[in-house]
Structure 1
Amino acid sequence: MRFTSEQRLDDGVREREFTLGETPGTLWTPPGSTPAPLILMAHNNGLPKADARLVARARYTAARGYAVATVDAAGCGDRPRSAADEQARADLRRAMRAGEPVDGIFESFIGPLVENAAPEWLAALDAVLQLPEVVGGPVGYSGWTALGIRLAALDPRIAAACCFAGGYVPLAQREEARRVTVPLLLLLQWDDEGNPRQRALDLFDAFGGEQKTLHANLGGHTGTPWFELEDSCRFYDRHLR
């Protein structure tokens, strides 16, 4: 793990870019010298880690006393995409605009993306947990639902997950959700134009834990209210401290 840049933000949060092999990432740590619990904050597939919404979430969470790490998996953010990936994204967008069935395209594209991303995220988790400014566990997860399911099913260090409800989650992760028993906070945008509501509700039912909460708000895909970020930090306070 090699840090490539560093800056201290106005609220005292330390923001550092790093590389781990070919994987680029960012680590935010809170002010002070006390080791902080870690939250993995995964953006949706294709969204760069420098996206303003992700950065705002990460900086706020770090200011609340958490270390926050994110990486760009293969084909995401600034990492190059294959011609096949670009075609799959174009086919998916076209089918959604036309109101055509997208399940086949989605499975063939997002399923392998999750499979390939998970090892890089777990490698980043191993590396970050070795840093003296980060508590060795338990760990929280925030963000992309399909990846969160896979990581929580694979790694017992993940002790709580806050996910953004997505109707289009690969079948493999829908089955894995039954094995995910950690405390869960699922955020659902009721009018999300890109994620069928009933599928998101069915996915919530599928999670195997007994401590799971669903927050539903009116609005489209990017309209999650800011107060949900405040609530998610309180959720992590309960389960990671």
Structure 2
Amino acid sequence: MPTALITGASAGLGAEFARQLARRRADLVLVARSEDALNTLARDLRSEYGIAVEVVVADLADDRGVETVAGRLRDAADPVDLLVNNAGFGLPLQFADNDIDDEVRHLRVHVEASMRLMHAALQTMRGRGGRIINVASVAGFISRSTYSACKAWLIGFSRWANREYARDGVTVTAVCPGFTHTSFHERMGLAAGEEGVPAILWLDARDVVREGLRDAARGKAVSIPSLRYKAVVALTRLLPDSVTSGVARRGRV
């Protein structure tokens, strides 16, 4: 059976990746800070699908946490076939008003941890084959504070790595959803409707994950779930930054 390691697996898109992969009978390694939530999800998935589920409690803003997960990815005796870099969190868009330590944690989780885990995964995937999915965002195509910058890095690196490691049988895909119904916004203290975003722009987590897994299986470097967001990204290539950054000040993708 293939094995998938998912970070940020306790809720939101991470938990949805776990459910859909379990449905496909993949064994799982679930990573997050929330031990109770991970154990509950693991128990439910084992019971429903009869798969093996390993729980790794780790904070990816911490060096020890990253190394714990990286060590699991480097284990050639029990290799991981699919890495889903999903862990992350949001901050208010006003960079100068944010605590700089929070900004550094934000950068470390979204960029440094993802980079280190990709590097570790490649040690056992090259030549054997494997897939890496980096959960980015449509925000990575738009200028909007450090969240946008982090996601832009993931998109750019995924494009390069997908070409570079195709010869070794490894695909790397940046999945770029728009506004998606998960607990992401709740953790920022935003209730439903506070984003000021039209209902038509909201996506369902199940659709995002289904399309992301499909595009990764096809070897695509970038996956943009839904036609409406494909159109949004196409527009960002035509409109000046002054327009797109102004629009992007509303909400968080």
TM normalised by structure 2 equals 0.37
TM normalised by structure 1 equals 0.38
User: Normalized per residue, which structure has more helix?
Assistant: 2
User: Normalized per residue, which structure has more strand?
Assistant: 1
**Larger relative contact order (Cα-Cα within 8 Å, sequence gap ≥ 6):** 2
